Structure 1
Amino acid sequence: MSERKFTFDALKRILREGAGADEGVDLDGDILDADFEELGYESLALLETGGRIEREYGISLDDDIFTDHRTPRALVAAVNELLKDNTVSAA
């Protein structure tokens, strides 16, 4: 079974689909290390984003995923770690 990967492009797509994009933020810019709040994504938008990630990737995210991983880079890494753990435990 091949390992499924969560990418920065997938995160940007999910953010746009679920919560839109703040007019002053270019999600295609250098935002990997920007705080989600600086990008205009607050708790409700992040809850929607988390729900979409869970449904699309078949994983369960901890309630504090966005407080522990406040940037796109950190979130992508955390989701990929969960996907890796799910692949290992499913094998």
Structure 2
Amino acid sequence: MSRTFTLDDLKRILLEGSGAPDGTGLEGDILDADFADIGYDSLALLETASRVEREYGIELDETVVGEANTPRALLDAISSHLPAQAA
């Protein structure tokens, strides 16, 4: 069974990992916003990647996570590691 990973999934995991109140830095059009500009540093992204790996059963290389500076880039990186959906 394959799964998809959406912006809402990413927002949920970012919030769970940061312990921030709902919506902190994640409201509006954030797809191309730099993570630093919306309040998430490299430690928060590593925690996010760890949570994604556990929840979705995938392995993300640290360089992939380190190079993903925006939610769109991280979504693309995560999606590329998910099993392809059957037609």
CA RMSD of aligned residues (A): 2.1
Given residue 38 of structure 1, which amino acid in structure 2 is its aligned partner?
Answer: D
CA displacement at 1:84 relative to structure 2: 3.2
Structure 2 alignment gaps of length 5 or more: none
Percent identity over paired residues:
57
Largest Rg, 1 or 2 = 1
TM-score (structure 1 length as normaliser): 0.80
2: distance between equivalents of 1:41 and 1:52?
15
Write out the 4+ residue segments of structure 1 that deviate beyond 6 Å after TM superposition: none
Structure 1 alignment gaps of length 5 or more: none
| Corresponding position of 1:41 | 40
Q: In the TM superposition, what whole-angstrom CA distance separates every residue of 1:6-25 from its partner, at most 9, and x where no partner exists?
A: 11000000000001448xx5
Contact 2:45 2:65 in 1 (8 A): yes
2: distance between equivalents of 1:32 and 1:72?
5
| Corresponding position of 1:6 | 5
